[in-house]
Amino acid sequence: MLADWLYIGIFLIISLFLPSVALIVAGILGPKKPNPVKNSTYECGVETFGESLTQFKVQYYLYALVFLVFDVEAIFLYPWAVAYQVQTVFYVVEAIIFVLILLFALWYAWRKGALEWV
Amino acid sequence: MIPLSWYLIFAALLFCVGLYGVLARRNAIGIMMGVELMLNAVNINLLAFWSYLYADRLNGLVFVAIVFVAAAAEAAVGLALIISAYRRRNTVIAEELTMLKG
Amino acid sequence: MSGTQFIFLVTAGVTLAAAVMTVSARKMMHAALWLVLALTGVAVLFALLRSSFFAVVQVLVYIGAIAILIIFSVMLTRRVVQEQRPRVNRLWWVAALLALMLFTGLVATLASWNGLYPTGQAVAGHPEDIGALGLALVDPAGFVIPFEVASLLLLAALVGAVFIALERKGGMQ
């Protein structure tokens, strides 16, 4: 089973290796003749203004929050789904209660307007 | 084979780095990051004990899943509190949030 | 030194270095990105511990959701002057001393514990059985109460976080 992960590790190393080699070789071989116009930030040809890291709206956080809750739900429902074939109705009802409780959470977020993009 | 002690010592180191972050950071979000590191150290410990000592039982795995849920809940509420405090006081520096100080 | 030991040592070194950078980086955004690297290292360790499921869950939940939440919070609470100020409080050396003392205490406890070198078949054991875990989660004789309580905890967390983070209508600003 660790051998399966070894393939992912090999792919990870190759995928880190290739772009870094490309960047390093380009940095070594490329000619460097900087001037202020060349170094300025390029943004559709228009002159840039302000900071690049502006303040975000709270809606981003609320969306990520709802996503997080249903992401964690997956931890529990995935093993349950794997064992689905050997389950009785009672077990399925328990999982439905689990989902209903979380649907109530979604309903609350919806009612409070957390999912509205203002 | 990796000895169990390697995992435990690594988890202890990670926990202590996280503890330092929690105690020393001034930024409240930095404190949250320290807490996340500590929770990860705990999870490594739990899975290491499960894997080396109790691989035939499921208690360890359920415990790890519950720790994941607790970490998610803690991150959600903690960061919401920080955002709310930032909106009221315009700071995320823990020392400047002194509303409860007499 | 075997191959897995080498992978463990490299992963542990990278993870610890990333953790140290997380607690010491000057910019919060950089600290958050170092945190992502540390969490990835922990996911690799989960895979080494023969728990593929939790390695994937670590990537899915911690890196995919919690780290994103932290990065969004950093973006939400950004202040321009913030980076020029000291990043640790003036008692940081007490914190470092406490962490060091805790580590010494933990290692001393481990050294005096005689279960540290387990013998027998558990060491060479099998990967986790996801089906059995799923069945135990809904089994009344197993872990059905933690299963439902986890759902309630998530409900409480979402309700609380939405309530706190949402601006009052026509309020604060």
Q: What's the pLDDT score for residue B76?
A: 92
What is the full DSSP assignment across B65-102?
HHHHHHHHHHHHHHHHHHHHHHHHHS--BGGG--TT--
What is the spatial distance between Cα B60 and Cα B57, in angstroms, rounded to a whole number?
7
DSSP calls for A10-43: HHHHHHHHHHHHHHHHHHHHS-----HHHHSPPS
Of the three residues C83, C100, C115, the one that is the final residue of a domain is: C83
8 Å CB contact of B87 and C167: yes
Distance of CA C160 to the CA centre of its chain: 22
**C65 is a domain residue:** yes
pLDDT tens-digit readout, C15-33: 999 999 999 888 888 999 9
What architecture does CATH give domain B4-96? Orthogonal Bundle (1.10)
In terms of pLDDT, which residue wins out, B61 or C118?
B61
In contact, B89 and B97? CB cutoff 8 Å: yes
Integer CA distances (angstroms), C166 to A115, B15, C8, C118, in order: 11, 33, 43, 51
Predicted structure pTM score: 0.87
Q: Between C12, C61, C137, which is nearest B72 by CB?
A: C61
Residue A31 maps to a domain: yes
- pLDDT tens track for C71-126: 988 888 876 445 556 667 777 888 899 999 999 999 898 888 877 666 544 555 56
Residue C53 sits in a domain of what CATH number? 1.20.120.1200
Instruction: Report the residue count for chain A.
Output: 118
Residue C102 lies in a domain: no
* Residue B19 Cα, gap to closest chain C Cα (Å): 6
Counted domains in chain A: 1
Range of the domain at A20: 2-111
Please list every residue in chain A whose beta carbon sits closer than 8 Å to the beta carbon of residue B83: 58, 61
Point out which residues pair with A79 in neighbouring strands: none
Tell me the sheet residues that pair with B25: C88
Residue C101 included in any domain: no
Residues of A in contact with B60 (CB under 8 A): none
b/e sequence A27-36, b meaning 16+ C-beta within 10 Å:
eeeeeeeeee
In a domain, A12, yes or no: yes
Sorted by where each begins, the domain ranges of chain B are 4-96
pLDDT at B57: 83
The answer to whether C42 touches A26, Cβ cutoff 8 Å, is no
Cβ within 8 Å, pair B76-A69: yes
Number of structural domains (chain C) is: 2
**Among the partner residues A58, A68, A76, nearest to B83 by beta-carbon distance:** A58
Contact check, Cβ <8 Å, A61/B65: no
Examine the fold and report which residue of C16, C48, C83 is the final residue of a domain before the chain moves on: C83
Domain containing C153 equals 130-173
Beta-strand (E) ranges in B28-68?
Answer: none
Phi and psi dihedrals of B25, rounded to 5?
Answer: -65, 145
pLDDT at B54 over 60: yes
B16-39 pLDDT per residue, tens: 999 999 998 888 889 999 999 999
User: Residue C110 domain-assigned?
Assistant: no
On whether any CB of chain A is under 8 Å from the CB of C56, the answer is no
User: Helix, strand or coil for residue A46?
Assistant: coil
Residues C162/A62, Cβ–Cβ less than 8 Å: yes
CB of B47 within 8 Å of a chain C CB? The answer is yes
Residue B48 CB neighbour total at 10 angstroms: 24
Q: Annotate B20-34 with b (16+ C-beta within 10 A) or e (fewer).
A: bbbbbbbbbbbbbbb
For B87, nearest residue in chain A (alpha carbons)? A58
Output the domain CATH number for residue A106.
1.20.58.1610
Identify all chain C residues contacting A74, using CB atoms and an 8 Å cutoff: 57, 60
Chain A residues in contact with C49 by the CB 8 A cut-off are none
Q: How confident is residue A87, by pLDDT bands cut at 50, 70 and 90?
A: confident
Interface test with A, best of C81, C151, C166, C172 (most A CBs within 10 A): C151
Q: Is residue A118 part of a domain?
A: no
Using the Cβ of A75 and the Cβ atoms of chain B, whether some distance falls under 8 Å is answered with yes
Alpha carbon distance A2, A97 (integer Å): 36
Distance in angstroms (rounded) separating the CA atoms of residues C72 and C64: 12
pLDDT digits (tens, 9 = 90+) for A25-64: 999 998 888 888 777 777 676 666 666 556 667 788 888 9
Q: Are C123 and B51 in contact (CB under 8 A)?
A: no
Question: pLDDT, tens digit, for every residue of A101-110?
Answer: 999 999 999 9
Residue finishing a domain among C44, C68, C83: C83
Q: Kindly state whether residues C73 and C134 are assigned to the same domain.
A: no
For residue A76, which residues of chain B lie inside 8 Å, CB to CB? Answer: 65
Task: Decide if pLDDT at B45 tops 50.
Answer: yes
- Report ipTM (2 d.p.): 0.90
Q: Do A72 and C65 touch (CB under 8 A)?
A: yes
The amino acid sitting at A19 is P
Comparing A6 with B67, the larger pLDDT belongs to B67
